[in-house]
Amino acid sequence: GEDVEQSLFLSVREGDSSVINCTYTDSSSTYLYWYKQEPGAGLQLLTYIFSNMDMKQDQRLTVLLNKKDKHLSLRIADTQTGDSAIYFCAEIRMDSSYKLIFGSGTRLLVRP
Amino acid sequence: DVKVTQSSRYLVKRTGEKVFLECVQDMDHENMFWYRQDPGLGLRLIYFSYDVKMKEKGDIPEGYSVSREKKERFSLILESASTNQTSMYLCASSQDRFKSSYNEQFFGPGTRLTVL
């Protein structure tokens, strides 16, 4: 179907790792994205991965891509209270529209 | 520093009113987008535009129209606001796909619209 799916909520303790999961639908998507939305703000691109990669690491962030299962994950190491936000997974439609399809967002709460 | 601005952060309107939401970007981007964000539903695309005076329907265009008279400005219009249009509205812009390697969209801070 059309939906990009994510769980709605994740709670972790400060210092632990967070893992946010996503399943997408378009196997021909060239890029997959993670956007972050802090309270009262718009979305900001956190990281992205090209479809020919399995993994991408950027400081505390690790993105894993399983193309066979159409599964994307975002791992945040040493999670801080400033990481509390909503995280959106998105895929790009490879038709003429080239538009982004967003998941419902996962609200990450980091407990002190 | 790239910037997408939206005319209002909060707006309260009455049912039946005509509502204009304005979005301006200063990055000379070709593409502009309007989304609405509702809890548990994520972002849903209302309309988008690839160039001045061009517009394309997104996934939920009913009850909305748009205008793009200048490259930097994209307006969302609610001809006759209804209570089910109470939502957060987000504007975004991006470079033309042939110029951008990974098609990042840049978002404004959002307008929270309440229709009474």
DSSP H or E segment with residue B21: strand B19-25
Q: Contact B105/A45, CB-based, under 8 Å?
A: yes
| 3-class secondary structure, B84 | helix
What is the rounded (10 degree) CA torsion for B78, B79, B84, B87?
10
Q: Contact B41/A88, CB-based, under 8 Å?
A: no
Q: Find the residue in A nearest to B102 (Cα).
A: A31
Q: Find the residue in B nearest to A102 (Cα).
A: B43
Q: Which of residues 6-45 of B touch A (CB under 8 A)?
A: 33, 35, 40-45
Instruction: Choose the closest CB to A92 out of B103, B107, B110.
Output: B103
Which residues of A are less than 8 Å from B93 in CB distance?
none
**Among A27, A79, A97, A39, which residue's Cα sits nearest to residue B109?**
A39
Q: What does the alpha-carbon distance between residue A2 and residue A91 come to, in Å, rounded to a whole number?
A: 11
Q: Find the residue in B nearest to A30 (Cα).
A: B102
Contact B13, B114 (CB under 8 A): yes
Q: What distance lies between CA A10 and its chain's CA centroid?
A: 13
pLDDT in tens, B47-104: 999 999 899 999 999 999 999 999 999 999 999 999 999 999 999 999 877 767 778 8
pLDDT in tens, A52-106: 899 999 999 999 999 999 999 999 999 999 999 999 999 987 776 778 899 999 9
Q: What does the alpha-carbon distance between residue A44 and residue A47 come to, in Å, rounded to a whole number?
A: 9
The amino acid that residue B14 corresponds to is R
Q: What does the alpha-carbon distance between residue B113 and residue B85 come to, in Å, rounded to a whole number?
A: 8
Q: Which residues, 6 or more positions from B46, have their beta carbon under 8 angstroms from its beta carbon?
A: B34, B35, B36, B58, B59, B60, B61, B64, B66, B76
Cβ-based contacts under 8 A for chains A and B: 48
Residue B1: the pLDDT is 67
